[in-house]
Amino acid sequence: MKRNGMKTNVNSTKPGSTKARDLTSKMATIPVWHTLCPHVQKFKNVRPCTSSFRACSRNGFQNTSRSSSTTTVANPILSVLDVKRILFKKITDKGDELVKAFLLLDPSCSMTVSRSELRRVISSFLLALTREQFQDVLAEIHLTSTGAVPYLQFLSRFGGMDLNVNLIKRCSGGEVSGGRTLKELETLVGEKIYTNIKAVVRALHLIDVNRTGRMQPKELRRVLETFCLRMTEEEYRKFAERYSINTDASVDYNAFLKSLSINNNLNLKYYLGDQERMGKEEIEKSKMRESLIGGLLHTPYLGWSPQPGDVP
């Protein structure tokens, strides 16, 4: 009855009256639901939900994924179709990175990885999944008799990629033109890392599962040559000696990256002649490079850590 009474009052209010102006002012301050959930309209591929809260939750999660490439915590609300749709888009966008990630974990070029390795790649480069969601992904892949995952099949099934020829070429290696000086190697590796820092850090974390900050020298070499720059044996020997990563002991890759960043700054000064000629822009780039590397190495979303009950 009150509601009907209010309708009558509103309809009977004259446009020019004080009550009409007050009512118009109040109505203007009432929030519209879609302004409280701004992400809903941005993602048209999401199924409509009966609850605006569910829409906000799901799209808020996807927006986080979009801004940081991967997320720390899996979203259990995502359906099988949601997972497939997201994986397809991200595999399409990051095909080359994924190939490198799988090759990094497959030095023998068997074209397979373990189930836990597949989950680490998915979580680090694509999308964090719950155990149930990951099992749904595994259910669509024909495992080998030993339980290994053919990653070509994964890329084909969820990303529509056919990379047999390319992968064989990558595994076979090919010749590397040598003869580059140490300064040239430092500059080339440094620029490759800086321009592809997120992928490089994820690759480091694929190997360093427990986040110790250390790995074997041969593992660091695989990361550098897979994601940055292939070198001849002689080139890598002098590069490794320069950074003391040619020993049998494990390598602190945080210290290595910091040292490489500092030396690249010195190399830049060398090429430009002296410090006075080094422009402010280049100095800022160098500082930003070191800050970016240091920050990403301690970013929690880059990677995956084993949980009790995870598949081997």
Please report the pLDDT score of residue 28 as a whole number.
Answer: 42
Three-state DSSP class for 307? coil
Question: Counting Cβ atoms within 10 Å, is residue 147 exposed (0-12), middle (13-18) or buried (19+)?
Answer: exposed
Please report the pLDDT score of residue 150 as a whole number.
Answer: 94
Domain 78-172 indexed as CATH 3.10.20.600 = no
Residue ranges of the chain assigned to CATH 1.10.238.10: 78-172
Tell me if 113 sits within 8 A of 149, measured CB to CB: yes
The DSSP bridge partners found for residue 251 are 215
Amino acid letter, 3: R
pTM reported for the whole predicted model: 0.65
Please report the pLDDT score of residue 298 as a whole number.
Answer: 52
Residue 113 host element (H or E)? strand 112-113
Please report the pLDDT score of residue 117 as a whole number.
Answer: 96
- Measure the CA angle with vertex 196, ends 112 and 150; round to 5°: 10
Please report the pLDDT score of residue 27 as a whole number.
Answer: 41
- Given phi > 0 = left and psi -120 to 50 = alpha, else beta, which region is 39? alpha
Please report the pLDDT score of residue 281 as a whole number.
Answer: 55
Please report the pLDDT score of residue 280 as a whole number.
Answer: 54
Please report the pLDDT score of residue 302 as a whole number.
Answer: 43
Structure tokens of 176? Answer: 């590397």
Please report the pLDDT score of residue 219 as a whole number.
Answer: 95
Rounded to whole angstroms, the Cα distance separating 294 from 306 reads 24
Please report the pLDDT score of residue 167 as a whole number.
Answer: 63
Please report the pLDDT score of residue 158 as a whole number.
Answer: 94
Structure tokens of 269? Answer: 């000064």
Mind listing the pLDDT tens digit for each residue in 90-110? 999 988 899 999 999 999 989
Domain 182-297 indexed as CATH 1.20.950 = no
Mind listing the pLDDT tens digit for each residue in 219-239? 999 999 999 999 999 999 999
Please report the pLDDT score of residue 177 as a whole number.
Answer: 76
Strand 149-150 versus strand 214-215 pairing type: unpaired
- Hey, CA dihedral for 73, 77, 80, 81, is it positive or negative? negative
Low-confidence ranges of the chain (pLDDT < 50): 1-3, 5-15, 19-20, 23-69, 271-272, 274-278, 293, 296, 300-309
Rounded to whole angstroms, the Cα distance separating 225 from 104 reads 9
